[in-house]
Structures are given as structure tokens and as C-alpha cells.
Structure 1
Amino acid sequence: MSKKEFIEELNEIIKDPIFIGNSIDDLFSETGENTWGISMGQELANEFTMEELVLFFTQVQTNRKEQITQISDHPMIFYAWFDWQAASLKFSLISAFHEKLPFISPYKTIASIEPIIAEFLQFQFHDGFPIADIQDEISADMGEEEKMSEPLNVFAAVLSNDREPM
């Protein structure tokens, strides 16, 4: 897929309709309907810049805020993270009345999406993990005590349902 074709697909994501729940019981529906992922091969990832992906996420947030303003009586939380196991930038939207983001693993919220995009762009395994190369590492780690992993970095922003600019 060419970069131009990929950008056309991203433009479709920008316009996707969202689901807005009415209570905390709608969390499963919100995460199921409002979660997107972006994956690409290494060659395509090398063609993208930070600025292009920041612009994409700005457009997504603007569109989601417009939808929230038109159809919701409450704000929502837009959040994004890098899922390195899937080599994917993920983002989602849940109602702001949820007390925390729906992650099982520890996470920390960060004020800017740029570090998440940078991690994605600098990731070396967009085309898959070289299992043969890391087999020795896995064997060496088998005898060690399980290490605590770093919390997942998550960019989060509240998108209000008023007509004020983001």
C-alpha cells in the first residue's frame, strides 16, 4: 500500500461515527465501538513524519469533539497508546464519567501524544518480531524472576460537549 492510499484510509477513520454511552454500564460498548488501531509495515512507517501523525490525531480529536457537541450531554475522554506487541497505534473514546481508563495493566497518563507517536515511528519491528534472533534472550530470561514492567504511557484528553475550542 502506498502512503497516499494509507492516508486516504486514515481520512476515513477521521470521519467514523462514535458511540456515546449513557451510563458506566456502557463501557464495553464504548470500547468496542470507539477503538481504532493503525499499523503499517516498516517501509511505510519510515515514510511518515511526526507532524503528519500529530495532524491526523488533531483531526480525529476535532471530529470527535464535533460529534460529542452535537449528540452528547456529557464530555468524553480521548486516549491513545502504542501497543508494541501489535506494532499498532491505538486510540479510543469513553465517557468521562468513568473513573479510570479501561486498562488491566498499569498505565500513566501523559500530557502530549508526541512521545507515543515517536515510540511508534522508532519501533524496529513493524514487519514482525524476529523470533529466531530473540530465542536466546527468551531462554536466558526463563530462569530469572519476573520483572515488573514500566507502566504503559497513555495520552488522554477530555473532549467537552460544549462549543468552546479544544
Structure 2
Amino acid sequence: MNKNEFMEELKEIVEDPLFIGNSIEDLTDEAAENTWSISMGQELANDFTMEELVSFFTQVQTNRKEQIVHTSDHPMIFYAWFDWQTSSLRFSLMSAFQEKLPFGSKYKTIASIEPIIVEFLQFQFHDGFPFTEIHDEVPTETEEKEKVNEPFNVYVVILSNDRETL
């Protein structure tokens, strides 16, 4: 797939409908319906700029904000992160019924999406992890705990349902 074809697919994501729950009981459905993932091969990743992906995320947030304003009686939380295990940019929305994001590991919220995009674009393993990078050495328990306890960055913004902020 070339960059133009990929950009067309991104346009489809921009326009995807949003599922908006009515209560905290709907958070599982929101997570299932409102999570997207973007991944690409190394060659394609090398063709993209941070500005292009920032523009994409701005369009997504604008579209979701419009949907929230027109159909929701409550704000929603937009959040995005880089999932290095799958080499993908991921983003989701959930109703702001609770403030804790649905991650099982430690994370750090940041006010800008740029660091996440830079991390994604500079990642060396978009085409997969080469076998030569996998070592027979077993990490010590301390090394493993340090890695697991390292928080990852999550860009978070509240999208209001207030028509005045459209």
C-alpha cells in the first residue's frame, strides 16, 4: 500500500461513528466500539511526517467532538498511546464517568500527542522484531520489574459536549 492509499484509509477512520454510552455500565462497550489502531510498515513510516499524523489526529478529535456535541449529554475522554508491542498508534474514547483510563499498567498522561507520534515514527521495528534481536539471556527479576513498572505516555484530552466550544 502506498502513502496515498493509506491516507484514504485514514480518512475513513476520521469519519467513523462514535458509540456513546449512557452510564458507567456502558464503558466496556465503549472500549470495544471506540478503539482504533494504526500500523504501517517501515517504508511507509519513513514517508510520514509528524505534522501529517498530528493533522490526522486533529481531524479525528474535531469529528468526535462534533459527534459528542450533537448526541451526548456528557463529555468524553479522548486518549492515544503508542503500543510498541504491536508497533501501532492506538486511540480510544470513553465517557467521562470515571477519570481512570482502562490500562492495567502504569501510564503517564501528557498534554501533547507529538511525543507519541515521534516515538511511533522513530520506532525501528515496524516490520517486526528481527530474530537476531531476541537474546537467549534471561533478564534478572529486577530488570524485568523495572521494565514492567516503567510508565508509558498517554495523550489525554476531554472532549466537552458543550456546543459553545465547537
**Residue 71 (structure 1) aligns with:** 71
Aligned to 2:145: 147
Please give the root-mean-square deviation of Cα atoms over the aligned residues, in Å.
1.2
| Number of corresponding residues | 163
For the residues of structure 1 that align with 2:22 and 2:141, how far apart are their CA atoms? 47
Distance 1:120 1:165 in 2: 30
- Aligned residue for 2:158? 158
**Counterpart check, 1:123 vs 2:123:** yes
Match of 1:42, as an amino acid?
Q
| 1:58 equivalent in structure 2 | 58
CA distance in 2, matches of 1:17, 1:152: 28
1: distance between equivalents of 2:118 and 2:111?
Answer: 14
Structure 1 residue ranges without an equivalent (≥5): none
Q: Does 1:45 align with 2:45?
A: yes
Residues 89-138 of structure 1 deviation map (CA, whole Å, 9 limit, x = unaligned): 000000011231000001110000000000000000000001233224xx
TM-score when scaled to structure 1? 0.94
* Equivalent AA in structure 2 for residue 33 of structure 1: E
Which amino acid is 2:17 matched to? P
How many percent identity over aligned positions?
Answer: 73
Distance (Å, rounded) in 2 between the aligned partners of 1:48 and 1:164? 34
1:2-151 → structure 2 map (5 Å cutoff): 2-136=2-136, 139-141=137-139, 143-145=140-142, 146-149=144-147, 150-151=150-151
Structure 1: distance between partners of 2:6 and 2:43: 12
Distance in structure 2 (CA, Å) of the matches to 1:99 and 1:50: 28
In the aligned structure 1, how far is the partner of 2:110 from the partner of 2:99?
Answer: 17
Q: Give distance in 1, aligned partners of 2:74 and 2:51.
A: 31
Runs of 5+ in structure 2 lacking a partner?
none
Compute the TM-score of the two structures, normalised by the length of structure 2: 0.94
**How far apart in 2 are the matches of 1:70 and 1:47?**
36
Q: Which runs of 4+ in 1 moved over 3 A?
A: none
Instruction: Specify the SS of the correspondent of 1:46.
Output: helix
3-state SS, counterpart of residue 164 of structure 1: helix
